[in-house]
A and B are shown apart, each in its own frame.
Chain A
């Protein structure tokens, strides 16, 4: 991609608030027409990054480029980007029509054009008959769509969305995810979407930047961040993963052998790390095959079932390795195994080449990201 195709480019962007470093060093290019997400737990710097693109915050260091032009001295009102704010920030004293027309009036678009473009945009977001209402007379989902229309009607170079779905309930949120994606395809505008909700980011985005503690950990497609996370943090944050720390001991034909801290020796996909270094093997619950006996390949893990959780299409089985490390396995209903009971011994196995191995070790004690962690992360994100 040449620089011309990039709507937004961040070069070595850093942001400090007093002694607190919100963003350490961000390099990032967002392409025209892309649905790009900034994903991370609360306090990771994703909103600060977005606010620097919009111009509400000045970078302490580095450059922000929009359409190839340095924005250092460009105030927010001269930047050709528009924001959908978290709580929408609709003007309470104006009708829906006036809210949507606000940007066009600021740029002195002819009033006949304003009428046509606002009406058109309200049709696109399914709010055709609502132009005379006040924001307070609308539901949360409708306000959300007014906020979208108000930003999109200006046909910005990029639309910046700051956790726009966080205030909606689950059903509406899922409907709006589909709606947003449709809207983005229809108008063909670049979307930069900030969220702490990994599911949201994975379903909607063309590419995702996963952030943690003011740093970009990985920029990749949703499939890639899920299957080949670049860091242990990404592996733990995206989806649920069993993360087993160990030491890299051997390398053979595209695979590598890891001595696990919890005991035992396993094989995974090769990793770019020197022999003898700390690594972590990532096993997704759904890539593990449960067995009632030791695997014939001689390669797997043995433990005791501690919990069996029915989840509809799949059943989640938790089992403990000898040293107490908890492993989660997702068992499909059609697997036809004998009923699994807590206390029973169990083995799991996997295709050695598919187990992703990461350089480094988890920083926190627990190596497993369970669903409760994910829920906790979403709750934290709301704060």
Chain B
């Protein structure tokens, strides 16, 4: 009987431990995430009600389309640049590994804003990049780069590249080297081993990296503001410019919710396509 009593005393305490550990973060999220979201949701339904959402679809379809197109291009560019880099660091660089990882993270030592503005210098009318391209006849004498789609997409890819490289690196680094020997041992060439073993096992990293790139890129306005022009407006620019004017605030709130909903659906579809189990 005595032992039963003891067990009864101990169990509830154990059950509450995880909650206690999670409590600070939960409180933080409720105060700074859930409550603002509720306020934003109320705002989006003010003066015009659900019709605000209708306005989003009629008024901003082109900007939305461009936003996701840019985010997609930047993500693809990050995969193309980031996967080989992560592969090299994880599989080939032995002693240089830590140095290379540090270099990948190094841009974070300066602010996002400065990094983007430095691209303005690089790409401006008489900046080094257009000069070189013009001298190689790759760019017309009267054409410019700044203010164009490639400039914005390039800057987005540049700013988010580390978010692609690091998760891919982690998933590649976790692969048991014996698996990469088992491939050739079973008559698979280097390419076949990569396709059938390395790539599938690095998909979780590729998935995480894509999300960490695509989602912030889709909500970004800094790159378009500085290296873009009037033809490269992204949805973030629209919200950033108009949120302060009280008359437009409900509509801007509705835009934000639509953006979030589209990204959420996109992520779920993407997860299903990649067959990643993390998000179901």
Residues in B with CB closer than 8 Å to A82 are 185-186
Interchain CB contact under 8 A, B181 and A89: yes
Of the candidates B178, B185, B196, B197, the one whose C-beta lies within 8 Å of that of A76 is B185
Within 107-163 of A, Cβ neighbours of B (below 8 Å) are at 107, 150-151, 154
Once the chains bind, are A85 and B178 in contact (CB under 8 Å)?
A: yes
Nearest-Cβ distance from residue B168 to partner chain A, whole angstroms: 16
Contact bitstring A53-66, B, C-beta under 8 A = 1, else 0? 01110000000000
- A381 interfacial by beta-carbon distance below 8 Å: no
Instruction: Return B233 CB to nearest CB of chain A, in Å.
Output: 42
Known: A92-B201, A154-B187. A85 touches B192 (CB 8 A): no
* Chain A contacts for B36, CB-based, 8 A: none
Known: A89-B181, A102-B183. 4 other contacts (CB 8 A): A54-B181, A102-B186, A102-B188, A106-B186
Taking a contact as CB atoms under 8 Å apart, the answer to whether A89 and B184 are in contact is no
Give the chain B neighbours of A91 by CB distance below 8 A: 179, 182, 196-197
Q: Is the CB of B176 within 8 A of A89?
A: yes
Task: Return chain A residues, CB-CB under 8 Å to B196.
Answer: 91, 102
Counting CB contacts under 8 A, is B127 at the interface? no
Of the candidates B178, B179, B192, the one having the most CB atoms from chain A within 10 angstroms of its own CB is B178
In the complex, whether A349 has a CB less than 8 A from a CB of chain B is: no
Contact with A along B175-215 (1 / 0, CB 8 A): 01011011111111110110011001100000000000000
CB-defined contacts of B200 to chain A, threshold 8 Å: 93
A89-108 with Cβ < 8 A to chain B: 89-93, 102-103, 106-107
The 7 closest A-B pairs by CB, nearest first: A103-B186, A89-B178, A106-B187, A76-B184, A77-B184, A89-B182, A106-B188
Q: Can you list 10 residue pairs at the A/B interface with Cβ under 8 Å?
A: A76-B184, A76-B185, A77-B184, A91-B196, A103-B186, A103-B187, A107-B187, A151-B185, A151-B186, A154-B187
- Given that A92-B201, A102-B196 are contacting pairs, would A77 and B187 also be in contact in the complex, using a CB cutoff of 8 Å? yes
Residue of B nearest to A55 (CB): B184
* Most A-side CB within 10 Å, residue of B176, B182, B189, B190: B182
Instruction: Tell me the complex Cα distance, A55–B196, Å.
Output: 21
Interface residue tally for chain A (C-beta within 8 Å): 24
Point out the residue from A75, A87, A107, A151 that lies within 8 Å of B178, measured CB to CB.
A87
Q: Does A367 contact B (CB under 8 A)?
A: no
A83 beta carbon closer than 8 Å to chain B: yes
Residues of A near B197 (CB, < 8 A) are 91
Interface centre among B183, B186, B188, B193 (most CB of A within 10 A): B186
Beta-carbon contact of B179 and A83 below 8 Å: no
Give complex CA distance A83, B181 in Å. Answer: 9
Nearest-Cβ distance from residue B153 to partner chain A, whole angstroms: 32
Q: How far is the CA of A151 from the CA of B190 in the complex (A)?
A: 19
Residues of chain A within 8 A (CB-CB) of B183 are 77, 102
**Are A76 and B179 in touch, CB under 8 angstroms?**
no
Does B186 lie within 8 Å of A150, measured CB to CB?
yes
User: Which residues of A sit under 8 angstroms from B181, Cβ to Cβ?
Assistant: 54, 56, 76, 83, 85, 89
Question: In the assembly, what is the distance between CA of A356 and CA of B37, in Å?
Answer: 87
Instruction: Please measure, in the bound complex, the distance between the C-alpha atom of A106 and the C-alpha atom of B196, giving whole angstroms.
Output: 10
CA distance A93 to B196 in the complex (A): 10
Q: Which residues of A contact B201 (CB under 8 A)?
A: 92-93
Most interface-central of A90, A106, A107, A151 (chain B CB within 10 A): A106
Closest to B192 in A: A106
* Docked pose: A263 CA to B185 CA in angstroms: 56
List B contacts of A55 (CB < 8 A): 184
Q: Are B189 and A85 in contact (CB under 8 A)?
A: no
Chain A min CB distance to B251 (Å): 46
| Min CB–CB distance A267 → chain B (angstroms) | 52
CB-nearest residue of chain A to B178: A89
Alpha-carbon distance between A62 and B249 when the two chains are bound, in angstroms? 79
List the B side residues contacting A83 at CB < 8 Å.
181-182, 185
Give bound CA distance, A54 to B178, whole Å: 13
Closest Cβ of chain B: how far from A67's Cβ, in Å?
16
| Bound: A93/B178 CA distance, A | 15
Which interface residue of A76, A78, A82, A87 has the most chain B CB atoms within 10 A?
A76
Question: In the assembled complex, which residues on chain A have CB atoms less than 8 Å from the CB atom of B188?
Answer: 77, 102, 106
Interface centre among A75, A92, A154 (most CB of B within 10 A): A92
* Min distance, Cβ B197 to any Cβ of chain A, angstroms: 6
Which residue from chain A places its CB closest to the CB of B201 in the assembled complex? A93
Bound-state Cα–Cα, A83 to B178, Å: 11
Docked Cα-Cα span, A7 to B183, in Å, equals 22
Q: How many angstroms from the CA of A103 to the CA of B184 in the assembled complex?
A: 9
A151: chain B residues at CB < 8 Å are: 185-186
Nearest CB of chain B from residue A136's CB, rounded to whole Å: 12
A151 and B193 CA atoms in complex are apart in Å by 16
Q: Please, how many angstroms separate the alpha-carbon atoms of A102 and B185 in the complex?
A: 10
Residues from chain B with a CB closer than 8 A to the CB of A87 are 176, 178
Please indicate the chain A residues that have their CB under 8 angstroms from the CB of B192 in the complex: 106
Q: Collect the chain B residues with CB atoms within 8 Å of residue A75's CB.
A: 184
CB neighbors of B among A331-365 (8 A): none
A54-B179 contact, Cβ under 8 Å, with A93-B201, A106-B192: no
Instruction: Please give the distance in Å from A87's CB to the nearest CB on chain B.
Output: 7
User: Closest approach, in angstroms, between the C-beta of B204 and any C-beta of chain A?
Assistant: 10
In the bound complex, residues from chain A placing their C-beta under 8 Å from that of B178 are 85-87, 89
The complex places the Cα of A291 from the Cα of B185 at a distance, in Å, of: 58
Docked pose: A89 CA to B184 CA in angstroms? 12
* Cβ-closest chain A residue relative to B185: A83
**B207-226 interface mask toward A, CB cutoff 8 Å, 1 = contact, 0 = none?**
00000000000000000000
Contact A154 B186 (CB under 8 A): yes
Please name all residues of chain B whose beta carbon is closer than 8 Å to the beta carbon of A90 when the two chains form the complex: 182
Q: Is the CB of B182 within 8 A of A85?
A: yes
